[in-house]
Amino acid sequence: MSVPFRFSRHAESRIQQHLYNSNNSKHREEEREVKRLKTMSGNNKISTLRGLVIFLYRFFILRRWCHRNPKQKYQKCPSHGLHQAHDLSPHTLVFNVEGALLKSDSLFPYFMVVAFEAGGVIRSFFLFILYPFISLMSYEMGLKTMVMLSFFGVKKGSFRAGKSVLPKYFLEDVGLEMFQVLKRGGKSVGVSDLPQVMIDGFLKDYLEIEVVIGREMKMVGGYYLGIMEDTQKRELAFDKVFQEERLSSGHVIGITSFNSSTHRSLFSLFCQEIYFVRNSDKKSWQTLPRDQYPKPLIFHDGRLAIKPTPLNTLILFMWAPFSAALAAARLIVGLNLPYCVANPFLAFCGIHLTLTVSNHKDLASSDRRKGCLFVCNHRTLLDPLYISYALRKKNIKAVTYSLSRLSELLAPIKTVRMTRDRVKDGQAMERLLSQGDLVVCPEGTTCREPYLLRFSPLFSEVSDVIVPVAIDSHVNFFYGTTASGLKAFDPIFFLLNPFPSYTVQLLDPISGSNSSTCREPDNGKAKFEVANHVQHAIGNALGFECTNLTRRDKYLILAGNNGVVNKK
């Protein structure tokens, strides 16, 4: 029989005391661990807060105001600060094109112009559809996306939009206040995030900026890939330019956007003084007037007559189906129906034709065996046709230079191509005058802007009475002329506009030198005087400026050729 084991009272009390002390020690250790964790948590919060404060201090204070150049002076309103500054002529001004020169904040219209002119309607429509998603991207990613959509697959040798199309839209967006600041400075350097091929012609040819630093494009086999080079190459070019400028002038002033962190950090490396432009400042700027352009905008190419902002682009694509049907109806009626029916229908369809006659006397030549010679300025290929509509005469003939074969076939009046042989062309014009009235455009090419090109004096040798005709036209969406595109579609694009207008003014007849007098060697100057007199008469009637530029000058600037169109 087993006996149960029992502790003595003293042993039991010792065991209980040991268990109690053990529990107390565990409890104290747990309390110390909790306090330690609380202390660590508090220290972590303090460290996080301290790190956040140091980061904000370094980013917003040191980096912005004292980064790499503690002696710089920063002004937030260059439109006020620079206007009140001392003489800027000894200094070099470095400005950001998009942030400090152009009023608009959106780059979409310029890429839409490139997509439409260089890539066609499908590419431009694709860019327009994707623009809502592009607007949600960051600035750099959105810029790269638009470059890819606009330039991918475009041949470098045929891309002339940067020199012939885009300058018009850039000039219409230049702020007058900033342009006046740049004029007061010495050498100007333009820095841009846009590709070099888009801004080089505008800044150098029209604003006379000495140095332009843009972003280069990658190419394969002479075609653009739609990818821009790294910004490091631009920084190297930037560094090279400023090393030269510091040696020459010793003081460089930077002007950039307040929201452009990349240009701000780049300018801070080289400029002794930086001025910032806010968006609120740009809203109060005025647009640079046309009469203050350093170089007048006489020639420009492209089909779009309206700036393709997102809203305008939407209107263009919505108008496209209606415009095609309307242009077809206008074309069919204008070519086939008599004037008494065609004129009211065309007016109902939105085409406005205004005729002004200065002298109601008989416009016929003094020699009844000849017709009347109408000499007009050249706005579109439809100039002779609208003179025919205005006078309600279908027997009028016209002489042309480099007219496409399709335009000759569609013309409702007879057209004769000039050979650029003075003797042969003079004989052809005399033969046409013996058959009836004749329309001559002595400029030899169209001009969209309010300028008149030099008049060829050949017309003064074939008639003794000349009727100057001042013509002006206006369009809404599309230009009816082109220098580098397909000329066969010029009349079609003009008819695609919702409300195109034409103004025809018949001026007082001019008694020019007769044929025998003009052809005498001693009176060779007379024909040029007659041509200049007619040019100035038309220019005064329209308010246009007369120039000595020729057809060859226009095509060398816009298309890089002499303007001869092959017979097709």
The DSSP result for 167-178, as a single string, is: HHHHHTTBBHHH
Judge contact between 452 and 389, C-beta under 8 A: no
d(CA 157, CA 211): 23
**Closest to 147 measured CA to CA, from 199, 195, 102:** 195
Judge contact between 440 and 429, C-beta under 8 A: yes
Q: Which residues pair with 287 in a beta bridge?
A: 175
The helix (run of H) or strand (run of E) holding residue 125 is helix 121-134
User: Helices in 202-291 by DSSP H: which ranges?
Assistant: 231-248, 261-268, 279-283
pLDDT at 523: 54
Judge contact between 274 and 100, C-beta under 8 A: no
pLDDT under 50 in the chain at which residues? 1-7, 19, 45-46, 57, 59-79, 515-519, 521-522, 566-568
d(CA 282, CA 275): 14
**Closest to 399 measured CA to CA, from 456, 448, 449, 357:** 456
Two tokens, residue 38: 């609380």
**Closest to 372 measured CA to CA, from 380, 362, 382, 381:** 362
Two tokens, residue 199: 């801004």
Tell me, rounded to whole angstroms, the distance of Cα 149 from its chain centroid: 17
For the chain, list the domains and their CATH numbers. 74-292 (3.40.50), 320-559 (3.40.1130)
pLDDT at 50: 59
pLDDT at 64: 39
pLDDT at 86: 64
Q: With helix as H, strand as E and coil as C, how does 339-392 read?
A: HHHHHHHHHHCCCEEEEEECCCCCCCCCCCCCCCEEEECCCCCCHHHHHHHHHC
| Tens digit of each residue's pLDDT (9 = 90 or more) over 114-139 | 999 999 999 999 999 999 999 999 98
d(CA 436, CA 365): 10
Alpha-carbon distance values, 549 to 80, 189, 438, 544 (Å) = 40, 30, 25, 14
**Closest to 234 measured CA to CA, from 409, 76, 96, 83:** 96
- The predicted model scores a pTM of 0.81
For residue 27, what are the contacts with CB-CB under 8 A and spacing of at least 6?
Answer: none
Judge contact between 411 and 370, C-beta under 8 A: no
d(CA 69, CA 270): 9
pLDDT at 195: 94
d(CA 78, CA 274): 9
**Closest to 134 measured CA to CA, from 108, 154, 110, 160:** 108
The count of residues in the chain is 568
**Closest to 116 measured CA to CA, from 479, 491, 504:** 479
d(CA 248, CA 186): 11
CB neighbour class for 167 (10 Å; exposed up to 12, middle 13-18, buried from 19): buried
Tell me, rounded to whole angstroms, the distance of Cα 500 from its chain centroid: 22
The helix (run of H) or strand (run of E) holding residue 86 is none
d(CA 514, CA 431): 16
Q: Within 10 Å of residue 563's Cβ, how many Cβ atoms? A: 18
Judge contact between 504 and 439, C-beta under 8 A: no
Two tokens, residue 356: 């002004």
**Would you tell me the crossing angle of helices 121-134 and 310-336 to the nearest 10 degrees?**
160
Judge contact between 351 and 406, C-beta under 8 A: no
d(CA 55, CA 47): 12
Q: Give the angle subtended at the CA of 338 by the CAs of 333 and 339, to the nearest 5°.
A: 90
Q: Which residues pair with 217 in a beta bridge?
A: 228
The residue type found at 193 is D
| Range 205-214 burial, b when 16+ CB lie within 10 A, else e | ebbebebbbb
pLDDT at 187: 85
